[in-house]
Chain A
Amino acid sequence: MIIETRNLTKIYGEKIGCEKICLSVDEGRIFGFLGPNGAGKSTFVKMLVGLIKPTSGTATLLGTPIGDVFTRRRVGFLPENFRYQDWLTGRELLQYHAALAHVPKEMRSQRIGEVLRLVKLEGAARSKIKTYSKGMQQRIGIAAALISDPDLLFLDEPTSALDPIGRLDVREIIAGLKERKKTVFLNSHLLSEVEMTCDEVAIIKDGRIIESGTIDDLLKGKVEVEIKATGLNGSLDKQISQIGRLISDDGTELLVELEGEDKIPILVSLIIRNGGKLYNLSRKKRTLEELFLGVIKGGGS
């Protein structure tokens, strides 16, 4: 496991930052930590990279307990609210970060060139950071996080200041890291971003994880089907309740929630056996958005 936490908890005075978080992230995974603002995402990541100390619980990064300075050579971090020494040029900032990250001297300029290309800032490398737009500052931040070619990268809301094209670029950077078997931990309140980039998600609310798993797993499970049929008789309702739940019924159009995909053929045969004429059956794709909103509103299931 690249990241493993056990009951990791942070309490700020009386306020809960995050509570009893148990997570594990495997090598090469792109992990999305999804939750509304104030859910505790930044708190969790700050504990892992050593900015704040957990109130209780334990965690390991790359097999060593958090707080180990040596391990941080293999970890990159893009903070959420950051400012860089804006009187430096982009290249100078990266030189500084390369030195801090112990990138060997003879490799620095090559590595700086690589990350500048990756974040598409080659043209601005000689300009002072204070002349950068918000989006460019975010990019130089990503470059600084990647300077040591880390095996594990934490990104805290990396696209908050970026336009749609910038977001696409970040997705491409992440995809590139995935190809090279790097692990990425992405904090985001944007569902679409997590859905498009991540293999796994945990949804956090009020400091607690309420759902987690691969996106496929989360979307698997319950399915909704829409049925258009005539000639249905009343006994169908009762039979449906054995394989799922009738959500709505206006005589010819039914909305049914089934316990799983495998119940769809059973539903069809039930309709036929009851003398119904099936005109249409469509499976409604359950999106992560519905899941997310359901979880956030319901406060857990």
Chain B
Amino acid sequence: MLTIASLTFKEALRKKILLAAVVLTLLFLVLYGTGLHFMANDLEEMREHQSNSRGGGFSAVETELMIEQSKRMFLLLGIYFSSSIVSLLAIFSSVGSVSAEIENGMLHAIMAKPIRRRDIILGKFIGYALMLSFYAAILFISILALNHYIAGAKVPREPGAVALFILQPLVLLAFTIAGSTRFSTLANGITAFMLYTIGVIGGMIEWVGVTMKNSVLSNTGIVTSLLMPVDSIYRMIVGLISDSSGNLMSLMGVDPLGPFGTASRPSIAMLIYTFIYLVAFIAIAVRSFSRRDIA
């Protein structure tokens, strides 16, 4: 199993999709850093302006609040987009992990070796999971670092948030590998991408539903997050970060961050559900791979 894992890990590092993701990520980080820089300047000007023109416009408290809020908005935006990057990387790096290797004959010689099919799947999962975990951790820490050094934002030192951030691609990985044991690479890619998108849109629908107090919409969101819990992990991360930075706005019961910022309390139930989801899809992958013909 570890042999397969290490080979898969090395293989994952060589994939063109990873190179594409790295380039995209660097581009994103540069743009994001630039944006942060200008935002920080603007906010600084706003603060000076406020302290010079006493009595006009906003009060000092209001200004501080707005500055605080803008910084948070930018931090969440960064986390939101980097979540999408690692999620898509998880899908597209592992989309053919089984199917493509059966199609091109790569698995044939391996299957006749003294190795259980279960171990082949677990090995593949571990290999990809290692790559994705490193990637996600580095990306998440980069986002926090940029916010800290460029915008001087108070960034939460919250290991739980990093762990949840890493959990996102792992959930998608389990789902995609399971699909890959049964469907063609193309069909699996489409399915996984669709489900991921549904999860994201479902999260937004839920936000609309909660905001408008429409229970049909918010229930729809709950259903989609059960189908694909990645988006709700993102919301738990937002929740964790908001808690630890003692957000004034949320104390005031206002949540003006839009659909990117619907913070949910990191609910233990949802966390447990996500773990069950992850393990269940690994189990499905093992079972389905053990039963199929490698023809």
Please give the residue numbers on chain A whose beta carbons come within 8 Å of chain B beta carbons, in ascending order. 12, 43, 46, 49-53, 69-73, 75-79, 81-85, 87, 96-97, 99-102, 141, 144-145, 154
Contact = CB atoms under 8 A, between A and B. Distances in A.
B111 A99 contact: no
- 5 A-B pairs with the lowest CB-CB distances in the bound complex, closest first: A77-B112, A79-B108, A52-B293, A72-B114, A49-B112
B106 A84 contact: yes
B75 to A, nearest CB: 39
B11 to A, nearest CB: 7
B293 A69 contact: no
Q: How large is the interface on B (under 10, 10 to 19, 20 to 34, 35 or more residues)?
A: 20 to 34
B19 to A, nearest CB: 13
Given A81-B105, A82-B105, A51 B111 contact: yes
A83 B115 contact: no
Contacts of B105: 79, 81-83
8 contacts: A12-B295, A49-B111, A51-B293, A51-B295, A71-B114, A81-B105, A100-B3, A102-B114
A50 B3 CA distance: 20
B294 A81 contact: no
Contacts of B106: 82-85
Contacts of A79: 105, 108-109, 112
A96 B3 CA distance: 7
Interface string B105-135: 1101111111110000000000000000000
B7 interface: yes
B109 A51 contact: no
A224 B255 CA distance: 98
A100 B7 CA distance: 11
B108 A81 contact: yes
Contact of B109 (A69, A71, A73, A97): A97
Contact of A51 (B4, B116, B294): B294
Chain A CB within 10 Å — which of B109, B291, B295 has the most?
B109
Given A46-B294, A82-B108, 5 more contacts: A77-B112, A83-B104, A96-B3, A97-B109, A97-B113
Contact of B114 (A51, A52, A73, A96): A73
A81 B116 CA distance: 22
Contacts of B109: 77-79, 82, 84, 97, 141, 144-145
